[in-house]
Amino acid sequence: MKIGIGQFSYHRYFGEITRWEADPGFRWTVADFIQRAGSLGSDAISLQTHYLNPKDLKVVKDECRVFNLIWIIEWGHPDGLQMGTSPEAAADLKRWLHLTSALGGKLVRIVAGYSTYRGREPVPTQMVRLIPLLREMCQEAADLGIVLALENHADFTPLELVELIGQVGAPNLRATFDMGNCVRLDADLIESTRCITPITEIVHLKDLWLLENSRGDPNASWPSAPLGRGMLDVPGVLRVLHEQGFDGYLLIEMAHMYSTWPDEDKAVTESVLWLKKTLENQGSSLLRH
């Protein structure tokens, strides 16, 4: 398993301030983020196209080479393909596939929609509309040598995402499993992990501080905590991944922070150290058995 950091963890630093957050008063460049991830000993980073200009990609390639970092493009924030209703979104995805390929990228995270689309229509109706579009996107990506990793973006539960990917039936369509989005839709975290791991390329590792008033509402506040300090069974998820032979990317991702941990950079730093130690201890434990 390769440890990485998602650029979204630093969304405030790139000018995205949610209604639960304050402006930090400064901004980072893409190079700043890459250098920080490199200094923390990461294996990989993910970059949000929402925060990138195409010209940044050359910087990405050069800076990542310095730190020996693998880079992954994450397309679609905030609502991706808009559940198959937006030709403009589909065209934008194709554009980013070609930009990524031109610089040697091989993996792109994509999203179909967002939690705001949940409940607007029956899930089967949304799937039927998305299947031909996703097949088209997969063919475009396959021609460029790119694997797509579709995320459960609080639009689908992990089990629904498994069904959708299966119906698309494209060998280069895999999953991005987001722990927090799983919980936001009240899906069982461990059972979801077992179900989705065989088709998963990327895991968004999140720990959340669960607020009682938010339960049942995926659009409410679901604040983040450093890994191991929140209320999710992150060690249980890691055990399942290990048992099933997952060898993809573990990307640490923070949404807005719970008040106890207002500094996302400190939370990311703590999370990297916790994850490395947990994986080392987990490996030793499995070897003893």
Rounded-to-integer distance, Cα 202 and Cα 256, Å: 21
Ramachandran region, residue 80 (left: φ > 0; alpha: ψ -120 to 50; beta: rest): left
Task: Give the number of other CB atoms < 10 A from CB of residue 246.
Answer: 19
Domain ranges of the chain: 2-288
Per-residue confidence (pLDDT) for residue 288, from 0 to 100: 40
Per-residue confidence (pLDDT) for residue 38, from 0 to 100: 98
Tokens encoding 118: 């949940």
pTM of the predicted structure, to 2 decimals: 0.97
Does the bond joining 78 to the residue before it have cis omega, within 30 degrees of 0? yes
Per-residue confidence (pLDDT) for residue 285, from 0 to 100: 56
User: What pLDDT tens digit does each residue of the chain (289 aa) get?
Assistant: 999 999 999 999 999 999 999 999 999 999 999 999 999 999 999 999 999 988 888 899 999 999 999 999 999 999 999 999 999 999 999 999 999 999 999 999 999 999 999 999 999 999 999 999 999 999 999 999 999 999 999 999 999 999 999 999 999 999 999 999 999 999 999 999 999 999 999 999 999 999 999 999 999 999 999 999 999 999 999 999 999 999 999 999 999 999 999 999 999 999 999 999 999 988 755 434 3
Q: Which CATH architecture has domain 2-288?
A: Alpha-Beta Barrel (3.20)
Per-residue confidence (pLDDT) for residue 54, from 0 to 100: 84
Cα 45 → chain centroid: 11
> E strands along the chain, which residues?
2-6, 44-48, 70-74, 107-111, 147-151, 173-178, 200-205, 207-208, 224-225, 249-252
Tokens encoding 83: 């559940």
Phi/psi of residue 115, nearest 5 degrees? -60, -25
